[in-house]
Each structure stands twice: as C-alpha cells, then as structure tokens.
Amino acid sequence: MNSFRGRCVISGSIKTTCVVSRRNVNLTASFKASVLAGKRRVYCADQDNPDLFGRRLDGRILCLPAIVGATTAGLVLHSLCKTPMAPAALLFAGPIDPVTAAGVILAEEWMGKSIPTIDRLGEEFLDAVEHGMVIEVTPEGTIMCFD
C-alpha cells in the first residue's frame, strides 16, 4: 500500500476504484456525450485523451495532473452533481485551477453534493496509481492506494 498526502479542497472520505490520466483532462470533452445523451453511466468521450477514452468515469475516483478547458470545468462539475454521473473524487498531482475549485465548492455549498477533492499530491502519486486500483480518501487529505 502506498500513501500520499495533499491539500484538501473539499474534504470527504470515499473508498472505490480509480481511473488514471497522465495527461491533463478536459472535463467537458470527457463527460459531454454521456450527459447530452441522458445516459446513466459516463464513458470518457475525449478522443484526445488515450488514457481515459472509453473508460467509465461516473462513481470513479479520477486521478489526474490537472484540468484543461477550465472555463467550463466548474459548470460541468456543478451540473454533474445534479445527476448520478459525478465522479466519486478528484485527485490532482498538481494544484487545482480556480474555476474547477469553484465548481466543486459551489456544488457542495449550493447542492449539498460533496466531491472529495485533493490537490498537490505530487508526480509520485501519478506514478504509483493504475486504472482499477482501489483508493481510499480520508477527510484529512491522505490517499491510500491498494493493489
């Protein structure tokens, strides 16, 4: 088991499987096809991200370096929280961008939906995680990865 500690943007605890991108993630491109089609499950539609393309995203912990296309990321996260299609948690190797941070904060404040969000976990975190690993997130920002 590997453990990492980051900064809590949104505190919470969850233990479930993860998906991993070693590239920055475009949330709008990743989620839009499933959301627009009214699907119950989200499979990544971003063909520019071979790490995630075609992988299930809803209810999963997303492990990523950062988010790109950030002008819409906050709105996408806020909108996803109205549905069962939201990710279980967001874990960032680097710092979260302000617009995405605003999206998860507003989802928690306005809708009562928390998406545990931890940033500044470091590149070592992304080196250690693999698709399908079980990850536990603690309210203090500790991440435990189980093989």
Q: Residue 70 has what pLDDT? A: 61
Identify whether the C-beta of residue 121 lies closer than 8 Å to the C-beta of residue 18. Answer: no
pLDDT of residue 66: 92
Contact 91, 19 (CB under 8 A): no
Residue 37 lies in a domain: no
| 140 Rama sector, left if φ>0, alpha if ψ -120 to 50, beta otherwise | alpha
Is 46 among the domain residues?
Answer: no
Q: pLDDT tens track of the chain, all 147 residues?
A: 899 999 999 999 999 999 999 999 998 888 888 877 777 889 999 999 999 999 999 999 999 999 887 677 777 777 788 788 899 999 999 999 998 898 889 888 888 888 999 999 999 999 999 999 999 999 999 999 997
Look at the chain and report how many structural domains it folds into.
Answer: 1
pLDDT at 37: 77
Fill in the DSSP letter of residue 147: -
Which CATH number does the domain housing residue 128 bear? 3.50.30.10
**Per the domain annotation, does 45 fall within a domain?**
no
Residue 11 has a pLDDT of 95
Enclosing domain of residue 132: 2-23+59-146
